Amino acid sequence: MERTERGPFAVAAGALAIVATYVFFLIYAQFGLLHLLEERLGEGAAVRPAMAAMGLAGLVASLATAAALRRIPAHLALIGGLFLCAGSGLASIVAGSGEALIGCAALIGAATAILTVSLAASLRDFVPPRRIGVVAGLSTGAAYFICNLPALFEGTPSRQACVAALLCTVAAVAVALVQSQSATGADAEHGSSWERSMFARTGLAAIVLTFLALVWLDSAAFRIIQETATLKGITWGDESQKLLQGLMHFGGAVAAGWLIDRRFFRSILGAAWLLFVVSFLAIEASASWIALVGPIYAIGISAYSTALVVYPSLRDDGDGLVPRRWRAGLLYGVSGWIGSALGVGMAQDLHGIPHWFLGASGVVVAASLFYGYRSNVVRALRAATIPIACALAALALHFAYRPAPAGDAAARGSEVYASEGCVNCHSQYIRPGTFDELAWGPYHPINRSERPPFVGNRRQGPDLMNVALRRSRDWNTIHLVDPRAVSPGSRMPSYSYLFVPGDTRGSDLVAYLDTRGVEFAGERLKNVMSWKVPADLTPDAADGHELFDARCAVCHGAGGAGDGALAKELRDPAMNLLKPELRSVIRAIGADPEDAQLARVVKFGLAPASMPGHETMSDQNIVDVVAYVQELRARRAGLPNAPEAMR
């Protein structure tokens, strides 16, 4: 039987669909949406329901889509998924309530699942099998490069959602114009019995487990890098580093695609695992090696991401083979959504990837690589490795997600809080009906069962009942080591001796502070959003300049470019205030004016980011600082009357 070749337009439509899918997932569903949720709901407990809703909807929709593709043409499901992603992303940026945001997150999860499953199941209908690896590699690499462009990477969630929605819409139109045809004939390029075994039931299970391990590692590593100032700085610190990451992604994806077309699919999975292991070990090595983490990690991600989108369509349906739709549904449902949840959970609970887990994942990958290979030695090895892999996976789940022991870091930190006498200067009680409620609230009754009691009877410094809603871990660490570095004129003594190498008391104390008030994030956000700038104030940029130099320049830099002395010590690098758009400014119908939003940020901070609030500054000082910031931004933009030196 003769094969039907696809035309250039069909190939271009398939490639554009891959680009749109990955851009939407990477820059918005995985990244921008989380920032949007944290900005509007706060961090921690308030965000988790939305992320859980997205993950559960993604898992269910992946399996439901695989079942539905039996009756619905895959290219129609692909068009629907692209339009649904575009619409759900745009809907989320205008959602006004917490319930609406959770609903949008669930819709984004379902839309992403429909899109990924239908794309992976139908890719063969757009791209000739002999070139499917290269086309997928070029498209995947291009998507990663686009996501690393500074204007998009540093843009607001609104910009990220709009760009992703535009790409999805264009891709949907392109797919709709293609008269897709299924391939016929034998697949000689993937015809060996070993390769054929990858698409039978047990072979598919092995591949799904391998991708589960890789997605698990990837998700954990991404979360760890995001929460580690040094790693985040060397990975996405400045524009040149972002572009370098983009180029490494592109090169890794193209190389993987080229090798896949030459029957090295399983080798790509093994290579990706090795690259992950090398990058994780480099994190623990000396400072001279840590610079390798970003590039190596990027190549590994792009390599397995290319394999992820290609696998379901590497071979057509046939006798004894699992249909493409179920390959895609199980792959993205189990490996994608469950793997992501497990990886993020591991990073949150363990704050790292244990060596024993690297070994467990290696056993799983090895079992998959040699599954179906006809050799007595390999058969014996496989017989031993599969039960070992299952046992290690169960052990991983047990250790990663068991309840935190009583002696965990936060519990030890409360003991440090007591032993260092913090209660002598800091209360943990919000006085109802007073300044406390707006500055440090919300108010909640005293927990009279707390032992030891930290209510306090004096207050030399701010109340700490809800400090996790106002200060980040990085800020608290810097403040404890050198209080006057971030709080000019502070009377607080330095506790640097708690942070000497080998002493965990400092990190334990910070972990304890990071638990204070997290359950009240939603109430805190409502209090903050209720504050309005008094209408009778006249901003003075000159006074704001002095305040900025004294209170803000240490992080934002004297010129507001985010290059202050402490910028690199923060998990979220100090914001460049000269960017055309600021992530903290919401541009949507009904949103407050930019100066009002900036005033709220200056007064209350941007927790969980490291931007602290200035709760005790007068409202006049707040509007003065905002006036100076806007003057800096106007000069940078080259607006009329801006001094020449700042243009």
Provide the 10 A C-beta neighbour count for residue 344: 17
What is the H or E stretch that residue 242 is in? helix 239-260
What is the structure's pLDDT at 122? 92
User: 397 pLDDT exceeds 80?
Assistant: no
Residues 6+ apart with CB under 8 A from 24: 85, 86, 89, 112, 115, 164, 165, 167, 168
What is the structure's pLDDT at 445? 82
Please report, rounded to a whole number, the percentage of residues in the chain having pLDDT higher than 90.
Answer: 32
pLDDT band, residue 564 (cuts 50/70/90): confident
Taken in order 105, 107, 108, 114, is the CA torsion positive or negative? positive
What is the chain's Cα-based Rg? 26
What is the structure's pLDDT at 371? 66
What span, in angstroms and rounded, lies between the C-alpha atoms of 306 and 369? Answer: 17
* Residue scoring higher pLDDT (78 or 30): 78
Confidence (pTM): 0.65
HSE toward the beta carbon, residue 580, CA cutoff 13 A: 6
Contact by Cβ (8 Å): 112, 24: yes
User: 578 pLDDT exceeds 60?
Assistant: yes
* Residue scoring higher pLDDT (504 or 395): 504
Contact by Cβ (8 Å): 271, 369: no
HSE toward the beta carbon, residue 400, CA cutoff 13 A: 24
* Angle of CA points 482, 497, 286, to nearest 5°: 90
What span, in angstroms and rounded, lies between the C-alpha atoms of 515 and 428? Answer: 13
Q: How many helices (H) and strands (E) does the chain have?
A: 29, 0
What span, in angstroms and rounded, lies between the C-alpha atoms of 517 and 524? Answer: 9
User: 2 pLDDT exceeds 80?
Assistant: no
pLDDT band, residue 375 (cuts 50/70/90): low
* Helix, strand and coil in the chain, % to nearest 5: 70, 0, 30
Least confident of 37-51, 166-180, 385-399: 385-399
What span, in angstroms and rounded, lies between the C-alpha atoms of 647 and 208? Answer: 54
* Residue scoring higher pLDDT (590 or 299): 299
What span, in angstroms and rounded, lies between the C-alpha atoms of 24 and 167? Answer: 8
What span, in angstroms and rounded, lies between the C-alpha atoms of 334 and 346? Answer: 17
At 54-86, the pLDDT tens digits run 999 999 999 999 999 999 998 899 999 999 999
What is the structure's pLDDT at 115? 96
Cβ burial of 179 (10 Å; 0-12, 13-18, 19+) is exposed
Residues 6+ apart with CB under 8 A from 206: 198, 367, 368, 371
What is the structure's pLDDT at 244? 83
What is the structure's pLDDT at 199? 81
Token pair, residue 516, equals 């204070």
What span, in angstroms and rounded, lies between the C-alpha atoms of 112 and 94? Answer: 19
DSSP class of 2? P
Cβ burial of 602 (10 Å; 0-12, 13-18, 19+) is buried
Residue 14: which of 2, 6, 23 has the closest Cα? 6
What span, in angstroms and rounded, lies between the C-alpha atoms of 562 and 195? Answer: 52
Taken in order 264, 267, 273, 277, is the CA torsion positive or negative? negative
Stated length of the chain: 647
pLDDT band, residue 175 (cuts 50/70/90): very high
At 272-324, the pLDDT tens digits run 988 888 877 766 554 445 566 778 888 999 999 999 999 999 888 877 789 99
Cβ burial of 227 (10 Å; 0-12, 13-18, 19+) is middle
